Amino acid sequence: MTDNVTTERADGWVTLTLNRPSKANALTGEMFGAIGDAFEEFTAADTDGVTVRGAGGDFSAGVDMSGVPEWAAMNPLEVRNELEPIHDSLRAVEALDAPVVAALEGHVLGGGLELALACDIRVASETAEFGLPESEMGLAMDLGGPQKLPSFVGEGLTKYLVMTSERIDAQRAHDAGLVEEVHTAAAFESAVADLQATLAAKPTYIHGLAKRQVHSVRPDNLDDAMQQAIHHAIAAYNEPETQERVESFFSE
């Protein structure tokens, strides 16, 4: 477990915190690995549920971009081998036979939003803002946003978020179906605690069965589409304009 991902258990409930506040909890491959390892260790027998949140007032500003320029010196298989374990970590979040709550504040962007989509229930503070900024740099998304978002908000808003890189506030996210609850900043912590208590009061196995039932009606090609997204990401990065945009991002 990296210091940038921490876990704390109170009775049967676990809080997993993205702990990189100086970088708005931007996610590294190591952090995704730690998330996956933690969820692999959690079991429904000893875990009533998990809340995923960020330190310092932000959930996550997305994937840390520092490793992306290195893709130019790597062959496609090497890039694929970096991205596939991240997919495995997201699957581990989804597969836990206990409820997973995303407590969302501040930035919920890019890979951070895609991590929130892997959770079961999303609770937002009014401070939260949601977006998918990848297109600004000519990057294709690779962690499930375009594949999973339509079932939450429909094709239109999915395309809007992906294509424009515009952000939406917590109220619009709630109205669209992206988050299940939105609260004032002052009421946010108590709302998260209340939801945890509500979920913990039910048999954990019932939550596990519910998750399996809901996931059973997902599109049959979801895993294939996720795998295809990796290839799209590699193809987009090999475009000269994308490399120019990424270089410009780091020179600012």
**Active-site positions?**
114, 134
CB 233 within 8 A of CB 139: yes
Side-chain half-sphere CA neighbours of 133 within 13 A: 18
Give the separation between CA 229 and CA 79, rounded to whole angstroms: 12
Contact 42, 51 (CB under 8 A): no
Burial class (CB in 10 A: 0-12, 13-18, 19+), 165: middle
DSSP string over 229-241: HHHHHHHHHTSHH
